[in-house]
Structures are given as structure tokens and as C-alpha cells.
A and B are shown apart, each in its own frame.
Chain A
Amino acid sequence: MAKPKLALYWAASCGGCEIAVLDIHEKILDVAAAFDIVFWPCAMDFKYQDVRAMEDKSIDLCLFNGSIRNSEAAEIAHMLRAKSKVVVAFGSCALEGGIPGLANLTTKEDILRVVYKDTPSTVTQNGGVYPQTHSKMKEGSIEIPELWETVKSLDQVIDVEYYVPGCPPQPEQIWAVIEHVISGRPLPPKGSILGATDKTCCDECPRDRKEKKIKQFYRPFEIQTDPNECLLDQGMVCMGPATRSGCGALCTKANMPCRGCYGPPPHIVDQGAKMVSALASVIDSTEPEEIERILDQIADPMGTFYRFSLAHSILRRVEKV
């Protein structure tokens, strides 16, 4: 029997998801043995044309990482969709925009202005030069893709079967997903989250959570926390209650609060909204004004509660007024 065909692709990502795949170490040889890898620009011969020439639905599994930020990435996403039976949004950026999605807090215009003009090391000639999609050089013309105004998650651009959360997904989880596919066991229903569990990060966290009522929030640099007690109980904003489990609570084990990279827990669409309600329940007050005063101590709620999920939240992008 012919081996199933596997494709991996990166759009606007940092490469960490690819490193996470390599971090299954010697098992990567099992992947190479079980699949016919037809497309993996990070690791092997890049055959755009060959993929384009393939029949529709001839790729069995496509792991797609990175968010969508320009026309080129969108074009490849559409092509891989047509050629693949199963497309997996792999990692936070593909799933929900990830950290590049924080760009939706600002505008393309501001990004270009800061990068090509305002940054203090940048030399501006004749009032500033911005990159142009089409450039006429004296020898001929050359092109670069147009940057989009808004960062999008993969499922805002194409139809997606499954999701593997994490920034990056943890190697044990990646292997569990790949092993499941290799085993030939039936796949879960469309839309399922793979490589994670149905609990919250708090459930995996070894810290003792007493649900103390807090009167003050602290920032990570301000205090030294107790290593055994819940960080939230100690007044540290920790995204644990609003985050799906799957990483094994790596950050809290390293004495740093969770920032939510495994995405919202089951049945929650908006991670930030979930976090607000989780916080409201630990604040020691019933007075709306006092609650507000205490919540006001939180630095950058938007960039913290939506650290990874802004592009996929109900807000999607923050419009400038």
C-alpha cells in the first residue's frame, strides 16, 4: 500500500512549530518511514509546482503553522486546502493568530511608520522610504507581497478539520497526534482540538489553589512568589483558569504565570472574556467600584488576556477611534 502523504507548511510564524516537530528527536525517523513527505519547505525540496500539479485531496494530512498576513500565505493556504484531505491548524498562530496577532492592536500604517521612520537607528531619506509591492529598478521590475491590515487565523481564511494548540505545541503532544494518525485509528469529529486535554491549565498545575480573595495585583518583577501556592492567589495575573491544559503547566512550574498559549478551554470562544470572569471571582469585594479599582491595577489587560488569541477573539482587531 502506498504511504499516506504528509505536508507541512509555515506562513507568518517564527519557526518554533517546526523546531517542536524536530524535538520529537529520533521519532522523526518514524515519521519519515510512515509518511511520504511531499511538502516541507523547512526540511526538504520545495516543490510549489509539484504540489500545484497534484490531484485535489491527494495529500492525506497537512500540518499548517503560522498566521495569515499577506497574499502569498493566503494563496498557499488555499492551494494546500484543495490538495489535502485533512488540514490541521498547527500551533497558536494558525489556530488563533498567536503573538503576531497582537499587530491587530495597531494598524499597518503605524507599523510601517515605526519600522521605517520612527525607530531611532533608521535613516530617513527624502521624508522616508516605505517598501513598495512593485519596484521598477533600472534593470527591470521586482515584487514583494502586500502586507494585510489584519492578521488572520487559518480558519478565517480556509476550512480547517482540526486544531493543535500551543506556542509551540509540546513535542509529546505532537507525537501523540502523529502516532494516532499512523495507527489508523478513526479520527475524531471535525473541529476537534488535538494534542491537548479537556481541562484547564490549573488542573495540571501542581500549585495549591485556595481561591483566596485578593485585594491587590502584582507584576512578575515586583515580588518573589511562593513556589507552592497558586500564583493567582498571590495576586499574580495567571491565565491558568482561562487556558486549556496540554503543556503540563510548564510556565507555572518555572515560577512564571501562564500566558495562555494553549488557547481557551473547552466550550469557551473568547479567552479574554473567560479570564475577566475568572478574575472577578477571586477579587475580595462585592462593591462594583472597588472591583473596578482592583482590576485597574492589571497592566495591559488586552495584551495579557488576549496574548495569543486576539485575532480569533470576538474583537479580532482593535479599531482605532
Chain B
Amino acid sequence: MKQIKIDPITRLEGHGKIDIFLNDDGEVENTYFQIPELRGFEQFCVGRPVEELPRITTRICGVCPEAHHMASAKACDAVFHVDPPPTAKKLRQLLYNVFFAGDHTTHFYALGGPDFIVGPSAPASERNILGVVKKVGLEVGGKVIEMRKRTQAVLKVLGGKQTHQVTSLPGGVSKGITQEEAKEIEQHCLWFVEFGKFTIQAFNDIVLKNQEYVDLILSDAFAHKTYYMGLVDANNRVNFYDGMVRVVDPEGKEFVKYSPNEYLDNISEHVESWTYLKFPFLKKVGWKGLVDGKDSGVYRATPLSRLNASDGMPTPFAQAEYEKMYSTLGGKPVHATLATHWARVIELLSAAEMALDLVRDPEITGTNIRTIPTEIPTEGVGIVEAPRGTLTHHYTTDAKGMVTKVNLIVGTTNNYAPISMSINKAARGLIKKGVEVTEGTLNMIEMAFRAYDPCFGCATHTLPGQMPLIVRIHDTNGEILDEIKRN
């Protein structure tokens, strides 16, 4: 038996590691994707005042603190049985949609996009944001930096800090916005919508007009038939901040639609001894291991999953693209993991359109932004869509609102099983007896999980570099037979 280690692929919480075992025929016997770190938020949040959790759980992730801030604030609303005033809800949603637009931009241009824009087999030194700029022009690079700059500026106004926001608390938000601030944010949002349309156009021109890429997206090596999950509004349209969780089966039929406080009837987590991360699955289907299909409780929670699980987008331009995607890719649901990139740019546009609608709502500058809780706090669940999947915070408190129990099911974690399966399938498809394992092979394996934009994906393809990978092929005695380094 030979062992190939891909170590480290860098962080979800810490670094990820992939081990690939080859049998004596040189075929892939099995793969293991390990997460080697645990910080224990579920335990050390116990004993804290519950209203502090929106300011503590942000530190689960500095890439998507907004998602934890919102899920936490919503869980706090539920704990105190309060409903924030409409202005407060709209301010939270405005912040959240601006964040979504910015976060999806980073992934599309810097992390996942380079595979398509520069090409999956281009030299690694070009498969990064600088390569993207070279391919599509310096102006685009400037636009991406400006997009980040503008979103961060809005987040600072609405959240108090651009990273690790502080303004959401049980019953509402601590700070409203003035007419002038709203006018300024409106200008930013107009820019975001244009940027969203520009990004859709770029995706059309670069990816969809290239048959090779379309074939790659639709190839079996990158497909899994699973359940799909996403938050939907009353009309079953995608909503990032609020609504019911809808799950569709691998044929696209609604399997269940549940409200946040019913999550325990629907989601369970499986523990394996070889990794610190748990594997969530659909409780009513059951854990059958790392396999896809209707009998396996494995589900996906990604931009593509949200589109698969919904009946449409809440905004007009994004809706048009939604329809186009499904007609191009042969109807719903789409199982092709790589189509997640397309879904992501559709969501980017939708988030920008939503933010513009919200900031133009006359209520957004209202001054009634808090409902002071009066009931005795008990227990509550808050769910939002994080860019990387459905995010659930569940808190229980004593009568004083001191936390006694915390349960968290985090965005990327939902996808731990499917990411592991995608790595396995790509490795099996690519590593064959007598075929040399090259850097290109590694990139294709990487692409299988990069589409999920896993939080350790921040590690890949940003400014001047590329995914760090070292692969070692060991024989059964641990002797290194081969080593491939990404340079």
C-alpha cells in the first residue's frame, strides 16, 4: 500500500490534510481529509452572558464574522423572545447582503475563479489573482480592490468595525444610520450592482463561451447526487438572512422545510476518531458513510445548493441568470460541483440588488432600532446562510440569560462529508496506475474542494501565490518514493 499525503492544504480551523492511499495496483484505495484543530467555542461560551455571544462567536471566523454575528444575534432574539423593530431587521439585512457581495467577490476573483479565468492547466504561478488581472486586464484588478474597499467601508458604518462587528444585540441593533449615511451607502450599492452585472458578463464570456470549461463543469468526476439545503423566504426564494430551511432530494423534490427551532429533528452530526471536525447529515435519512444518493443523509449547503433548494432569486437580474443557468445545465437540480462558481456570481448580483433595495427603503433611516427584552430568557436557535453554507447557532440560558449550553453547526462543516467525497472521487478519477502524479493532478483534486469555498480556501490563490501543496508518496514502510512540490 502506498500513501500520498497532501499536507498542509491549510485551514478550516487550522490546516487541512489529505491522505491518499494507493493499493498495489496503483489505484486509489481510499482518501482521508483531516481537520487537525479544535478551539472549543461550544464549551467556553458556557457561563458567558448570552448577549455577549454575538461579539464572541465572531472569532470563530475572521473571514465571515458577519455570519456568526447575525446567527448569534438571531439566536439571542429567540432566547429573549423578542422581535426587533423593522428598521433594525433591515439594517442587519443590509449589512448582511453587502457582506455577501464582498465575500463572493473575493472567492470568485482570487480563490476559485483563477481555475477558469486563467485555466485549470495553466502554470500554478499564474493561477492566482495576478494571473486573472493579466488575462482580463488591469482595470479588473482595480475593480476587485475597489469592491473590497467599498464593502469594508459600508460594513464599518453598519457594524462598528469592518471585521468582528459589534452592533447587533438581542432585540435589534445599537446604531442606526442617518440620511447622509444612507445616501452614501446607496451610491456604493449602485456600484455593487454594476459590479455584479460585470462579473456575470465576465463569467459568460470567459467560462460559458469556452466549451472545454462547460464540459469540465459537467464532467462526472466533479458530480455528486446529494440532497441540497438552503434558507428560503415565504415564496421559496433564496434568502441569506431569514426564513425556513428547505431541503430538496437528489431529484429536486422538496424533502423537508423546517424552521430554526426544528433543526434537531432534521440534522445530526457523526463523529470519526481521525479528525476534529464532525460530519453533519440528515437525521431522517441517516448516516451511511461518505456516499451520495437518496439513501445517504449527506447533503450539501453551498451557493449551488441554495439555488437548487429554492424556486428562484428574490431580485430581477439575478432571477434572469438563475433561469439561464438551469436551462444551460439541463434543469434542476444541478449536481455538478463546479457549477457552484456560477451560482456564486448569481448570488453576488442578488446580494447587491437586495442591498440596494434595502438602503432605498424609507424605513432604513428609522430611529426605532431596539426592542428591549422583557420576558425571561430561555432557549433559542438562529439560522442564517453563511456564504459557505447554512449556519446554525443554538443557545440555552438560565433565567438571568447566562449561557448554559451552546451548539453550533457551521457553514463549511455542513459540507465536510461532500468535500471528502469530492476529493475521493477526483483522486480516483485522476490517479491511475502508470500515470504520473503531477502538479496538474493536484490542482484538479484541489478544484474539487475549492468549488465549496471551504473556509480553509482562504489559503488558496490569493495575491501573489497559489495553493501550497506538498505531496509525498510513501511505500508501506514509510519510505518516501516520490515528492512533488508546488512551486
Contact = CB atoms under 8 A, between A and B. Distances in A.
Interface of A: 10, 12-20, 22-23, 25-26, 28, 32, 37, 40-49, 69-70, 72-73, 98-100, 102-103, 105-106, 110-111, 114-116, 118-125, 128-132, 135, 137, 139-140, 142, 144-145, 147, 167-168, 171, 219-224, 247, 250-251, 253-256, 259, 299-300, 303-304, 307
Contacts of B48: 300, 303
A72 B167 CA distance: 36
Contact of B30 (A10, A49, A72, A139): A139
Given A144-B36, A219-B49, 5 more contacts: A26-B149, A121-B280, A123-B271, A137-B274, A303-B48
B62 A23 contact: no
Interface string B202-224: 00000000000000000000000
A222 B372 contact: yes
B175 A254 contact: yes
Contacts of A19: 62-63, 163
Nearest to B162: A23
Nearest to A31: B463
Nearest to A43: B462
A303 B161 CA distance: 21
Contacts of B175: 254-255
21 contacts: A14-B58, A18-B458, A20-B62, A42-B459, A47-B485, A70-B37, A100-B39, A103-B43, A119-B269, A122-B271, A128-B271, A131-B272, A131-B275, A137-B274, A139-B30, A144-B36, A144-B274, A219-B51, A221-B169, A299-B402, A303-B47
Contacts of A26: 145, 149
B10 interface: yes
Nearest to B171: A221
Nearest to A111: B40
A135 B58 CA distance: 32
A222 B175 CA distance: 15
B276 A144 contact: yes
Contact of A20 (B32, B163, B485): B163
A81 B43 CA distance: 32
A121 B372 contact: no
Given A121-B268, A123-B268, A106 B164 contact: no
Interface stretch (B242-250, B305-313, B465-473): B465-473
Interface of B: 1, 3, 8, 10-11, 13-15, 17, 19, 21, 29-30, 32, 34-40, 42-44, 46-49, 51-52, 55-56, 58-63, 65, 76, 80, 124, 145, 148-149, 152, 159-164, 166-167, 169-171, 174-175, 263-264, 267-276, 278, 280, 287, 370, 372-373, 394, 400-402, 405, 407, 409, 455, 458-459, 462-470, 476, 485-487
Given A28-B463, A251-B161, A223 B372 contact: yes
B351 to A, nearest CB: 18
A317 to B, nearest CB: 11
B37 A142 contact: no
Contacts of B166: 250-251, 254, 256
A123 B49 contact: no
B56 A99 contact: yes
B47 A105 contact: yes
Given A15-B458, A43-B462, A132-B274, A121 B38 contact: no
Nearest to B370: A224
Contact of A46 (B10, B61, B407): B10
Given A15-B62, A123-B270, A300-B48, A131 B152 contact: no
Given A41-B10, A43-B465, A224 B372 contact: yes
B468 A167 contact: no
Given A70-B37, A256-B169, A131 B65 contact: no
Contacts of B14: 12, 70, 72-73
Contacts of B465: 40, 43-45
A123 B275 CA distance: 15
B281 to A, nearest CB: 9
Contact of A15 (B29, B30, B61, B159): B61
Most buried by B among A99, A145, A223: A99
B47 A100 contact: no
A25 B149 contact: yes
Contacts of B152: 23
Contacts of B462: 22, 42-44
A135 B62 CA distance: 31
